[in-house]
Amino acid sequence: MHFNPYGGAAAHLAAALVNADPASTPADLVALLHAHHYAPVRDLDTAGAAAVLAWARRLEPVFDRAPDSIARLNALLADAATGPYLSTHDGRAPHLHFAPEHAPTPDRVRAFTASGVAHLFCEAPDRLGRCAAPGCRVVYVDTSRNGRRRYCSTRCANREQVARHRKRA
């Protein structure tokens, strides 16, 4: 399933941040941002990394689709987004931004991910999820064709299927 850039790339980045190791270094987070094609990443020091990881903890409950998800998302948007505007930086086609281009990286990441998760939540809230395997805490964005993803990976799905089979046998 294809989503707009905020509901797609930004929501995937939000999930990756939630799944990131809480002990991630600034270099680890810069690598994660680059892996999700988030640019430009200017500087990310220890305080910035701590701010991004704290933000990830605030994003996490939305993936559980709790009854208060709308209130949580509104709080995230209020804390992160400064107001949408169009930009054409780096030779790209016009696109929306929700934080000033020259703001510190943590501020831009917050605005990008909050807006992305909110866009996706409005389009298809059931596409945000957490792995159904016992003990697995990984969150994901379901881009499957039928929208019925329950596990973070084939490995978790297979492990659960084998466990069910053994229990029946």
Q: pLDDT per residue over 112-160, tens digit each?
A: 999 999 999 998 999 999 999 999 999 999 988 888 899 999 899 988 8
Residue 167 maps to a domain: no
Q: What is the pLDDT of residue 26?
A: 97
Q: What is the pLDDT of residue 164?
A: 81
pLDDT at 2 over 70: no
Residue 134 maps to a domain: no
Angle in degrees, CA 150, 154, 59, rounded to 5: 50
Please give the single-letter amino acid code of residue 8. G
Share of the chain above pLDDT 70, in %: 96
Residue 149 maps to a domain: no
Distance of CA 158 to the CA centre of its chain: 25
Tell me, what CATH number does 119's domain have? 1.10.3300.10
pTM for the model stands at 0.88
Q: For the chain, how are helix, strand and coil distributed in percent, rounded to 5? A: 55, 5, 35
Give the span between the Cα atoms of 116 and 94, in whole angstroms: 17
- Residue-level length of the chain: 169
Range of the domain at 65: 5-126
